[in-house]
Amino acid sequence: MRVAVVGSGYVGLVAGACFADLGHTVLLVDNDQQKLAALKGGQVPIHEKFLPELLDRHRGQRLRFSEDLHAAVLESDVVFIAVGTPTTEQGEADLSYVESVATSIPSALNGYKVIVEKSTVPVYTSEWIRKIILRHAADPDSFDVASNPEFLREGSGVTDFLFPDRIVIGVDDERCVSVLRTLYAPLTDGSYYQRGDAIPRPDRAQIPPPLIVTSTKSAELIKHASNAFLAMKISFINAVASICEAVGADVQQVCQGIGSDRRIGHRFLNPGIGYGGSCFPKDLKAFRAVARECGYDFRLLDEVMHINEEQRQRFLRKVRSALWTLRGKRLAVLGLAFKGGTDDIRESPAIMLVETLLQEGCSISAYDPAAEVRAREVLPASVQFAENPYAAVRDADALLILTEWDEFAALDLERVHGAMKYPIVIDGRNLYDPESMAEQGFTYYSIGRSAATPEVRSSPSNVPPRAVENS
Ligand code: UDX
Ligand code: UDX
């Protein structure tokens, strides 16, 4: 099919490349000249596994880039809207970009087209898109508006698109269902997964993925509710971690205990310095605002956001209690992105913590495998950026682990110990075991577990969990 994707950001670019890999002809539209030039030149502006390979495979063939939205709609059967939906001061989703795209569509309706909102938008948005298009005297039979929310996690967007747990389609008219079923057929009929050049299959892949067809309003709500639930799960375990700290329990063992219940599950149960990124913070505020507009006071979401904010403050207090005074201290920081596997620093807790520690007079030596370029744009010049973790920790008074990059969980600890001024590690992502860190001579602080110091063995509750007998 002929597909136009408007907005070549974290979502649009991944969606466009994947639709091309499914065999469709894709026009990726963007109003950012620089971004388009970079994409046409073969650059990949975001850090996404397998995206470079897909772009190299299809660029100039099935996948082309254009700034001409009108022309792109004229030559497409399906038009995806994947432009930004940032948060306004009032915490609502700013839909002005969505509206500006919708107003450009009516004049290009040279035949039946399906207009699909891909960006995360509040419920009722599809109705507004329909109204806008009709306001421009479009023939009601010449288009339909559908919702097809994305569930892509940054860093694994391509895998999440091609191996989704589910595909959700929100439609209010049967006519466009067949168009969208055809669009996703290579996934739902399983043929994509038989191809020799399919990207590697993740474990636990749902093959073929179910296609959930519902109304546009339900599809819009599925997206907001999914993200709100995941954020709530993270805030829940962070709250439990705080109780574990208060009583000397071990939150990792509590996670093992509760996560073994398949109704709860182990995923998204990792305590840390709280969630960040361009989705959870924005989507929770938007969902909270939508609920209020619909007359429901969704106070639970306020507490989810409050716990998340408090988690960062708790971590700062942990740093202060570990170092007593902060002024003049040299801190090594591993991780600046909002999570491992991405270069994105939007709403990154690591960035916020670094800014606060700088204001308290610390000097910071930071390393992040992918986010340095973006971090340099927002952090003051006083921050030193190291080439690797070992350069970052040299002569440091303490090491702070702020992003869960895999490589930070496999450091040469002897080398780290030898390079630091004081072997103090404050781990905001629980990448290490307190007992073994103490054995290797570190004073080790983490989330939801007692501090471990070399001379004082930590309490027996920190004994690493025995292998669970297979029940
Ligand atoms: C976007 C939404 O912000 C998010 O809510 C949703 O979950 C997924 O889609 P993202 O792809 O990260 O997320 O947005 P962003 O990285 O800001 O990319 C949007 C792209 O649209 C940018 O490249 C921007 O240049 C482009 N754009 C924006 C247009 O082409 N036209 C516009 O009118 C506005
Ligand atoms: C999220 C949703 O997972 C995805 O489905 C949606 O489409 C977009 O928003 P993303 O924000 O890219 O994806 O990253 P995610 O992996 O969900 O992590 C979000 C934040 O939560 C990160 O800051 C991460 O560090 C944190 N997190 C995640 C935890 O603190 N604990 C966890 O167990 C999991």
pLDDT by residue (tens digit) across 266-292? 999 999 999 999 999 999 999 999 999
* Same domain assignment for residues 194 and 261: no
Structure tokens at 244: 């574990």
202-224: average pLDDT: 95
Is the C-beta atom of 151 inside 6 A of ligand 2?
A: yes
Question: Is the model's pLDDT at 121 over the cut of 50?
Answer: yes
pTM of the model: 0.93
Please enumerate in sequence order all residues whose Cβ is within 8 A of that of 342, keeping only pairs 6 or more positions apart, or say none. Answer: 47, 154, 155, 370, 371
Centre a 10 Å sphere on the Cβ of residue 396 and count the other Cβ atoms it contains: 24
One domain, residues 334 and 287:
no
Residue 459 placed within a domain: no
Domain presence at residue 466: no
Query: Ligand 1, atom 3: nearest CA belongs to which residue?
Result: 84
Atom of ligand 1 at shortest range from CA of 83? 21
Range of the domain at 228: 223-309
CATH number of the domain residue 288 falls in: 1.10.1040.10
The span from the CA of 313 to the CA of 310, in Å, is 5
Residue 470 has pLDDT above 50, yes or no: no
| Residue nearest (by alpha carbon) to ligand 1 atom 16 | 9
In this structure, is residue 235 part of a structural domain? Answer: yes
Tell me the mean pLDDT in the region 305-317.
98
Per-residue model confidence as pLDDT tens digits over 75-112: 999 999 999 888 888 888 899 999 999 999 999 999 99
Report residue 124's pLDDT band, with 50, 70 and 90 as the boundaries: confident
Q: Which ligand is nearest to the CA of 151?
A: 2
What atom of ligand 1 comes closest to residue 30's alpha carbon?
30
Give SS3 for 320: helix
Percentage with pLDDT > 70 across the chain? 97
- In our burial notation (b when 16+ CB lie closer than 10 A, e otherwise), range 47-79 reads bbebbeebbeebbeebbbbbeebeebbeebbbb
Q: Tokens 């898109």 correspond to what residue?
A: 129
Mean pLDDT of the chain: 95
Return the amino acid letter for 363. Answer: S
**Cβ 276 under 6 angstroms from ligand 2:** yes
Same structural domain for residues 296 and 336?
no
| Selected catalytic residue, list 18, 279, 294, 362 | 279
Residue 453 domain flag: no
Q: How far is the CA of 386 from the centre of ligand 1 (A)?
A: 31
Residue 450 domain-assigned (yes or no): no
Structure tokens at 195: 């191809």
In this structure, are 339 and 286 located in the same domain?
no
* 409: DSSP letter: G
Same domain, 179 and 284: no
Which atom of ligand 2 lies nearest, measured to the CA of 227?
2
The pLDDT, as a whole number, for residue 469 is 47
Residues 376 and 419 in one domain: yes
Alpha-carbon gap, residue 253 to 261, rounded angstroms:
13
The pLDDT of 246-266, averaged and rounded, is: 98
Question: Of the ligands numbered here, which is closest to the C-alpha atom of 226?
Answer: 2
Residue 303's CB: how many other CB atoms inside 10 A? 14
The answer to whether position 437 is within a domain reads: yes
> Ligand 1: distance of its center to the CA of 11 in Å?
7
Q: 17 pLDDT exceeds 90?
A: yes
Place of tokens 């962070």: 238
CATH number of the domain that residue 169 is part of: 3.40.50.720
Q: How many domains does the chain have?
A: 3
> Does the beta carbon of 150 lie inside 6 Å of ligand 2?
yes
Residue 323 CA to ligand 1 center (angstroms) comes to 42
Q: What is the best residue among 119, 163, 223, 268 to mutate for testing ligand 2's pocket, by most ligand atoms within 8 Å of CB?
A: 268
Q: Which atom of ligand 2 is nearest to the CA of 226?
A: 5
| Whether the CB of 54 sits within 6 Å of ligand 1 | no
Ligand positioned closest to the Cα atom of 270: 2
Total residue length of the chain: 471
Query: Do 54 and 172 lie in a common domain?
Result: yes
Q: DSSP string spanning 190-236?
A: SHHHHSTTSPPPPTT--SSPPEEEE-HHHHHHHHHHHHHHHHHHHHH
Residue 459, pLDDT score: 56
Which tokens in the block code for residue 235? 């805030």
What's the pLDDT at 85? Answer: 86
Residue 234, burial from CB neighbour count under 10 angstroms (0-12, 13-18, 19+): buried
pLDDT of 465 > 60? The answer is no
User: Which ligand does the CA of 122 lie closest to?
Assistant: 1
For tokens 């390393």, name the residue: 367
Contact 181, 146 (CB under 8 A): no
What pLDDT is attached to residue 460?
58
CA distance 79 to 180: 11
Residue 28 in any domain: the answer is: yes
pLDDT for res 84: 87
Residues above pLDDT 90, as percent of the chain: 91
Q: Where are the beta strands (DSSP E) in 336-397?
A: 363-367, 384-385
Cα(153) to ligand 2 centroid in Å equals 6
| Same domain (yes/no): 210, 338 | no
Residue 470 lies in a domain: no
Tokens of 261: 């219940």
- Over residues 462-469, mean pLDDT: 50
Same domain, 431 and 386: yes
Centre of ligand 2 from the C-alpha of residue 201, in Å: 20
What contacts 24+ positions apart, CB below 8 Å, involve 213-216?
A: 213/169, 213/171, 213/177, 214/168, 214/169, 214/170, 214/171, 215/170, 215/171, 215/172, 216/126, 216/127, 216/145, 216/146, 216/147, 216/170, 216/171, 216/172
Residue 120: CB within 6 Å of ligand 1?
Answer: yes
**Co-location of 275 and 149 in the same domain:** no
C-beta of 106 in contact with ligand 1 (< 6 A): no
Rounded distance between C-alpha atoms, residue 32 and residue 297, angstroms: 38
| Mean pLDDT confidence for 321-338 | 97
Please give the distance, rounded to the nearest whole angstrom, from the Cα atom of residue 223 to the centre of ligand 2. Answer: 14
- Out of 180, 195, 214, a domain closes at 214
Q: Do residue 283 and residue 365 come from a single domain?
A: no
Ligand found nearest the CA of 279? 2
DSSP 367-382: E-TTTHHHHHHHS-TT
Q: What does the pLDDT average to over 39-43?
A: 95
Q: Atom 3 of ligand 2 has which residue's CA nearest to it?
A: 153
Q: Rounded distance, CA 126 to CA 116, Å?
A: 8
> What distance separates the 2 farthest-apart alpha carbons in the chain?
78
**Hey, is 93 helix, strand or coil?**
strand
242 and 174 part of one domain:
no
176 is a catalytic site residue:
no
What is the Å distance from ligand 2's center to 466 Cα? 29
> What pLDDT is recorded for position 464?
54
Last residue of a domain, one of 214, 233, 248: 214
Cα–ligand 1 centroid distance for 195 (angstroms): 31
Given a cut of 90, whether residue 338 has pLDDT beyond it is yes
Cα 219 to ligand 2 centroid, rounded to whole Å: 20
Q: Is the CB of 154 inside a 6 Å radius of any atom of ligand 2?
A: yes
Torsion angle of the four alpha carbons 199, 205, 210, 212, in this order, in degrees rounded to the nearest 10: -90
How does pLDDT run across 409-455, given as a tens digit for each residue? 999 999 999 999 999 999 999 999 999 999 999 999 999 999 999 97
Residue with CA at minimum distance from ligand 1 atom 21: 7
**What 3-state class would DSSP assign to 286?**
helix
- 270 contact partners, CB below 8 Å, separation of at least 6: 234, 237, 255, 404, 429, 430
For the CA of 429, the nearest atom of ligand 2: 30
Mutational pocket test of ligand 1: of 11, 18, 39, the residue with most ligand atoms within 8 Å of the beta carbon: 11
Nearest CA to ligand 1 atom 6: 119
Q: Of 309, 338, 359, at which residue does a domain stop?
A: 309
Contact status, residue 230 vs residue 268, Cβ threshold 8 Å = yes
